[in-house]
Amino acid sequence: MKKWQTYLILVFIMLIWGFNVPALKTLVSEFTPVTITSLRIFTAGITVFIILGIMGKIRKPTAKELLFIMSGGLLNVVSHHYFLSVGLTGTSSTNGGLILGTGPLLTALMATIILRNRPTVIKVIGFLSGSIGVAIIVLSGGEGIGGLKMGDLYIFISIFSQALSFIIISRAAKTLDPRLLTGYMLVFGSIVLFMISLFTEPGGLRQLGDAPASIWVLFFASAIMATAVGHMVYNHSIGKIGAAETSIFLNLNTFFSLVGASLFLGEAVTYYHLIGLVFIVLGVVCGSGTLEELVMRKKQKRYLERKQNHQL
């Protein structure tokens, strides 16, 4: 698959993840957050194994790969989702959005430190531009940054855990299919989350029978499309184009979630959001390496044309 095809697929996944935000808000309002999150992720993990079983991609992991699965599951599933759900209850949406928007920068920074993968100047501009776009969008709510709270720390731990997990996924992808890695991580992480929910939300399971059928349709749509298919494709892309380049597309989540909130929850989208979108698109084009690839292709084309003219 060519890079531009991977980029288009990633944009589509970001659209699904963005629209998944209002769906998650609805689910959390109906159920206790950690309990329903663990069940949703477990459903997603089973879905991944069904898909991979049909594809004939399932195999037992080696001891080293099992270590990647456990560490990735604890970071990408348990820590990220737990601290995110708890953190958002203790801080403003503006602070939370700004901190979550640092994900691509954190991933690029850790890729530089851990993988010794130094980003180019254009990619750095892309990371900064994307972060500015996210900041414009979340600050347009007019709440202000305000003082830091414990919830801010929880959300930072959440996004830091996810960013670090992307580095682990990129390393594990050298020997283990990222899609299979996704399935193992989702099942393992969901079991740990469910055990946590038994202590933190002892009455969570009793609420499940009171929800209408429409909520369960939303539950399975979120679990299968956003979590199962979305994470399979995203983690597979990490193995193809790298953790830093893939993470830059996460900036699109902010805008698509606003579009989803406008369509499904009736929230207003202002011109600040459109300005933020311009910075986000610029960030994706620069940070993903698309601009560099276009420049390189033009240089190669000019070189070949000059070479052919010289031979003539």
The dihedral region occupied by 69, where left means phi > 0, alpha psi between -120 and 50, and beta the remainder, is alpha
Number of other CB atoms surrounding residue 292 within 10 Å: 16
**Count of the separate structural domains present in the chain:** 1
**Overall residue count recorded for the chain in this entry:** 312
Contact 208, 16 (CB under 8 A): no
Predicted TM-score (pTM) above 0.95: no
- At residue 183, the pLDDT reads 92
Inter-residue contact 218 to 26 (CB < 8 Å):
yes
- The confidence score (pLDDT) of residue 221 equals 92
| pLDDT of 60 | 93
pLDDT at 295: 78
Please, how many CA atoms are within 13 Å of residue 116, restricted to the half-sphere of its CB?
0
Question: Considering Cα of 189, then 219, then 96, then 136, what sign does the dihedral take?
Answer: positive
The string of pLDDT tens digits covering residues 227-264 is 899 888 887 887 777 766 777 787 777 777 777 777 77
Please report the pLDDT score of residue 142 as a whole number: 56
Q: Can you read off the two tokens belonging to residue 285?
A: 């084009």
Quote the CA–CA distance of 158 and 27 in Å, as a whole number: 20
Alpha carbon distance 135, 299 (integer Å): 35
Token pair in block for residue 122: 């254009």
Residue type, 250: L
Question: Is residue 113 a contact partner of residue 173, using CB atoms and an 8 Å limit?
Answer: no
Helix intervals (H) in the chain? 3-30, 33-55, 63-72, 80-87, 93-100, 103-114, 121-139, 150-172, 178-200, 213-221, 230-241, 243-247, 251-265, 271-287, 290-311
107: amino acid identity, one letter:
T
Range of the domain at 52: 3-311
Residue 79 CA, chain-centre distance (Å), reads: 14
Count Cβ neighbours within 10 Å for each residue of 211-238 and write b for 16 or more, e otherwise.
Answer: eeeebeebbeebbbbbbbbbbbbbbbbb
Q: Which stretches in the chain have pLDDT values below 70?
A: 1, 88-89, 91-99, 101-102, 138, 140-149, 243-244, 267-269, 288-290, 311-312
Instruction: Give the per-residue pLDDT at 73.
Output: 93
Tell how far CA 131 is from the center of its chain: 15
